């Protein structure tokens, strides 16, 4: 299908094959050896967006149609988004 549309596929054949397996991972070793501490995903994403902005790698693009998801996170990073 990608050959016809010229766009990347939503999912690759290899990813589809791997999706049938249930995979679980533990952060216990990182916690034990590195002092790692997990935190809420939203907080981590907000910090990542801030880092990308400071590194001038990512810019808010709230005027694009696909920005609905990142726009919410970007707004949250700026104190404008929903919490949750």
Task: Show me where the domains of the chain are located.
Answer: 2-77
How far apart are alpha carbons 61 and 74 in whole angstroms? 9
In this prediction the pTM is 0.39
Whether the pLDDT of residue 35 is over 90: the answer is: yes
Mean pLDDT across 45-51: 93
The rounded mean pLDDT for the chain is: 77
Q: What is the pLDDT of residue 23?
A: 86
Mean pLDDT across 61-81: 52
Among candidates 56, 30, 42, which has minimal Cα distance to 84?
A: 42
The tokens describing 82, both together, are: 């929903």
Whether the pLDDT of residue 64 is over 80: the answer is: no
Which residues have C-beta within 8 Å of that of residue 58, sequence separation ≥ 6? 49, 52
How far apart are alpha carbons 71 and 84 in whole angstroms? 15
Is the Cβ–Cβ distance between 58 and 49 less than 8 Å?
yes
């Amino acid at each position: 299908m990608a050959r016809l549309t010229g766009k990347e596929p939503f999912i690759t054949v290899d990813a589809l094959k791997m999706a049938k397996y249930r995979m679980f991972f533990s952060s216990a070793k990182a916690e034990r050896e590195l002092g790692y501490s997990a935190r809420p995903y939203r907080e981590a994403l907000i910090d990542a967006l801030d880092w990308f902005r400071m590194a001038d790698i990512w810019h808010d693009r709230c005027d694009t149609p696909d920005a609905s998801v990142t726009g919410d996170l970007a707004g949250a990073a700026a104190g404008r988004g929903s919490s949750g």
